Amino acid sequence: MLSLLIGFKRLIRCLVRCFNKEETKALLVATGIILLIGTIFYHNIEKMTFIDSFYFSFVTLATIGYGDLHPITTIGKLFTVLYGILGLGMVSLSVGVIARELVQIRSENQENNQKNREDTLS
């Protein structure tokens, strides 16, 4: 449980750092907007509850696809195809940005640890 909390803390720190950079802030906000657009679409057109529409939008964007929810209408099915294509690119870029930042944080921590060891030895 402790390792889960430590990992969650690192992820939060990483997300905060990402949002402090203009180039990544725009990408992450765009991904959030795409998630919101899907949620609103499925809520209004497919008549899903808000939580179901959010869940379905997230599962579709993340390419998880459990299959428990699916669009019924033709327009919903067409939207889902386009939504999946657009969303896949945005989510992939966002995950890449977050992963790059996590690697950067880890590298900085290792450099700081090495410097602290050298300072202690001298």
pLDDT of residue 81: 94
In-domain check, residue 110: yes
Cβ–Cβ under 8 Å, residues 105 and 17: yes
Give me the pLDDT at residue 48, please.
Answer: 96
Domain contains 107: yes
98 domain residue, yes or no: yes
Which of 50 and 110 is assigned the larger pLDDT?
50
Specify the number of domains making up the chain. 1
Kindly report, residue by residue over 26-81, the tens digit of the pLDDT: 887 888 899 999 999 999 999 999 999 999 999 998 878 888 999 999 999 999 99
For the chain, what is the mean pLDDT? 87
CATH classification at residue 27: 1.10.287.70
5, part of any domain = no
**CB within 8 Å of 30: residues ≥ 6 apart:** 90
In this structure, is residue 30 part of a structural domain? yes
The pLDDT of residue 121 is above 90: no
Give the amino acid at 109. Answer: N
- Distances in Å between the Cα of 100 and the Cα atoms of 6, 12, 56, 90 are 19, 14, 27, 15
Specify the DSSP class assigned to residue 21. Answer: S
Give me the domain span that covers residue 103.
Answer: 15-121
Q: Is residue 111 part of a domain?
A: yes
